[in-house]
Amino acid sequence: MKIGFIIAHPTQFEGPFFQYAAKDKEHQIRVIYTNPEHMEKIFDPELSANVSWGIDLLSGYSYATMPRSKRMRWLLDEINREKYDLLIINGYSRSEYILASLFARLRGTPVALRLDSVQFGAASISKHLLKKINCLAFKKLYTHFFATGSLTVKYLQRYGIKKERISLFSYAVDSDYFKEKSCLNGEAKSELKRSYQLPDDSKVILSITKFNEREAPWDLLKAFCAMGDEKIFLMLVGDGKERAALEQYAQAHPASHVIFAGYVPYTKLPALYGIADLFVHPVQHEAWGVSVHEALACGLPVIASSRVGAGYDLIAPDKNGAIYEAGDDADLREKLARFLNSPRREDVCRESELILSSWTYASSWRSILEVGQRYLSS
């Protein structure tokens, strides 16, 4: 089979997945990147900075980048020339995605929409109607749907997509890479802790997020400052518009040790997981949450808010982590105290390895091949 992917730009989880899939010599993949400006660096408006992943995301597989001019003509020529057996479109918000889907369907090519949409709580009547209308159009335009997690599966079914037309294609990460890079020896661990002014015997709560309205870790900061344990340190990794307000709140609670580490490059994150004792993802809305997977791969227990999609698939409550009610810092505080003292890290690692074994590049590739074979045979 020949499988095409249309996506805006390379990311830290899609690039390695494409490299993995390209090793399957029985099938071919080709990736079309639609945003030529973001092939090396991406400007993140939430961080107000350029982000470079620092890892090779482009070698080992066939790809093409849409030109800056005559884009639509180029895209149609690409689809017509390559004759894909299955075309996977990563989202529906761009005009080139819709055009590619329409043209491929006219050629008789099965087109799958990959999306991560979730719904936390009830939608307003107007939003509900709009989503129903969208899904009615989607049922006509797309042959199949790839969901990043179980909440997206429920979202699609809620709006009328039948179960047999939905498969999983998650935002997986390289668990072995994170596990290996986070395993620091005693000396390296002590040295890294000292660089952040952390005592060797301190317990560290780690959170990697963006300091904005959607992700600012207010739940975590309030819960932590209410604990009042001098041997526990909170490390907040990230940046954004809310940073000054967060720092001001921390300064008003001098008995609590809060470290603002700023933005940390992607390749240096595994080491931070390696010095932590607990990871918390306290955001207000996150369709998936790749850092949950990364932290679990490093052997950390993870506490996620009820508005983090990955928590519902990757966290086994009271075994390798917990889910707290978003906005309820008292609930989070109780779970922080519980997981800083139990369960044993060995038990956490065992449970996480079992769960993550179903959320891999291999499982995503199998899912794609099963869908492709189904439509090829029909």
The one-letter amino acid at 340: L
Superfamily of 2-172+360-377 according to CATH: Glycogen Phosphorylase B; (3.40.50.2000)
**H or E element that contains 180:** helix 175-182
Domain 175-356 listed as CATH 3.40.50.2000: yes
pLDDT for the residue 247: 96
pLDDT for the residue 135: 76
How many Å apart are CA 353 and CA 342, to the nearest integer?
Answer: 18
How many other C-beta atoms can be found within 10 angstroms of the C-beta atom of residue 32?
22
DSSP 8-state class, residue 83 = -
The DSSP-derived string for 113-167 is: EEE-----SPPPHHHHHHHHHHHHHHHHH-SEEEESSHHHHHHHHHTT--GGGEE
Coil, strand or helix: which one is 16? helix
Residues 6+ apart with CB under 8 A from 88: 3, 4, 5, 6, 111, 112, 114, 146, 169, 368
Residues of the chain short of pLDDT 50, as ranges, are none
Angle 134-313-29 from CA coordinates, rounded to 5°: 65
Only one residue has tokens 């490059």, namely 265
Domain range list for the chain: 2-172+360-377, 175-356
pLDDT for the residue 378: 76
pLDDT for the residue 51: 66
**What pTM value is reported for the model?**
0.93
How many Å apart are CA 102 and CA 141, to the nearest integer?
Answer: 7
pLDDT for the residue 213: 84
